[in-house]
Structure 1
Amino acid sequence: MTCCALSWVSQKLRHYMASYMTHLISRMDPVRYIFCQHMPIGKLAKWQMLLTEFDIQYVMQKAVKGQALVDLLARSPVDDNPVPLWTYFLDDEILTIEGEESEDESGWKIYFNGVVNFKGSGIRAVLVSDSGQYYAVAAKLSFNCTNNMAEYEACILGLCLSLDMDVKDLQVISDSDLLIYHVQGEWATKNEKIIPYVGLVQRLADRFQERSTARCAFVEAETDEKPWYVDIKMFLEKGEYLERITLNQKRTIRKLANGFFLNKNVLYKRTLNLELLRCIDSVEATKFIEEVHTRTCGPHMNGFVLVKKILRTGYYWMTMENDCSKFVKKCHKCQIHRDLIKVPPTELNVMMSPWPFDA
């Protein structure tokens, strides 16, 4: 189609293109292939014969910096009643999502985090007063450490900052379950490098008026008991979307809905063989994995075979490959009765027999 359009334009604009050199700006590789081919055959030779009478020079299209802005304005036109930009984004908070504070939760708080990568290690902590004022501190570690050690270093930095400011009641908030349960004594500490950190954090916590309360600050999965396909089902049934979702999410839902089929109140997944797989939620999926893997005629197969067997039975959910792999790794019988790996951990080297000593 591109070559046909170019030939048609050259015939219509013959009186212009025959007198001047024409620069063809295009990102289509087939057009470039026609002009660069020395001995074309078939239809390529026909197209080249029609275009050789004109002085056409192929030029690659360069990047246009303003094109991204033009495309954005074209996709999002502004009408008489423009909607504020903040309505397109979810109300996601960084690190924590907190509601109204009660009298027991009010007071000084400390947030901390440690990062380790190939460039080095760094720690930071933020102390929040009861009046809402922030005190931030950061430091770079000059020694090699692990992620858990960096978390402990950041916690110690935050506790020392709190003691220097004469804080008596402090609430420690972290996203590390390991640190929280180690300090509270619920988990045993086996790593020799972490044991000194645990003892130091416990000693610093005892210097406060009340022992610091630590809690995890990450957001867990939603517990609204809605299945994973609720947005796809709503779009196929009513042509509507859930509340407070972005334009990209709407576009993704429309693309995903093309691979599903809704029959009354049951959602099915279309396969490449035009088969229909019944979509199930996470609760049914957990029971189904256990039934297929361990119960009736369950040969304790690996995760890949388990996924294939579930698909053959006619069921589907979005994260079935990841869920099956995790279930097989946690299966006790699979870990005991699986084939033993007899390959040595290191490569074996052939040793020459020693020469006898001379008498």
Structure 2
Amino acid sequence: MGLRAAIERGIRTLKVYGGSALVIYQLRGEWETRNPKLINYRKVFFGLLKKFDDIIFNYIPRDENQMADALATLASIIRVNKEKKMRPIQMSIFKAPASCCNIEEEEKDDNPWYQDILRYVRDRKYPEQATKNDKRTLRRLACNYVFDGNILYKKRKEQVLLRCVDAVEAKLILEEVHEGVCGTNTNGFTMARQIMRFGYYWSTMEGDCINYAKKCHKCQIYRDKIHVPPSPLHVITSPWPFSI
């Protein structure tokens, strides 16, 4: 359709840019066309080539073909009246995708629970107004943490590193593990083990998991009621002797 539109406008010299390497290299003759469906298109194409004095085919990767995709999208949604002239289209190019403008800013925890440990492991500095006992406790706790790539990790006994997360990230992890896409609405202890298996850690993890499971509405309704008060048993006689 593009070649025929160029022929209607009397264009004799043309540069063609395509995002499909298969089509471009086949039209250049560098690749052989074996698909029976494409052979007929190739014959029609070479028939149209005779009406051009010079035509060049260039391949553009899809990452560099964003402008062509935008123009193709506009062409599919706009109806042009042949009797009226088409006004020029003004387009603006932004540094970031438009979808990023709709994303709300994420909350940040300015004072995470591991702030003092991170400062000591990274800079070997103690918090202000720290006593000798506080410094000794901080040194003992810091032995179980590793700082790598601007991220603090908790080192377990089996030398497995767990990424330390703040309160905001911990809330998101609790929601995803308990009732997310793959959530199973497990109890607090099982949630804590799952989170550690996934590679995350925070100091109050087990208590937060238990409290989160207690406040879950679905768990309170559908979970087995193991703490129901006892009720008297009612003896039911067998009806077999009276069946005759």
Q: TM-score, normalised by structure 2?
A: 0.49
More helix by share: 2
Greater fraction of residues in strand: 1
Whose Rg is larger?
Answer: 2
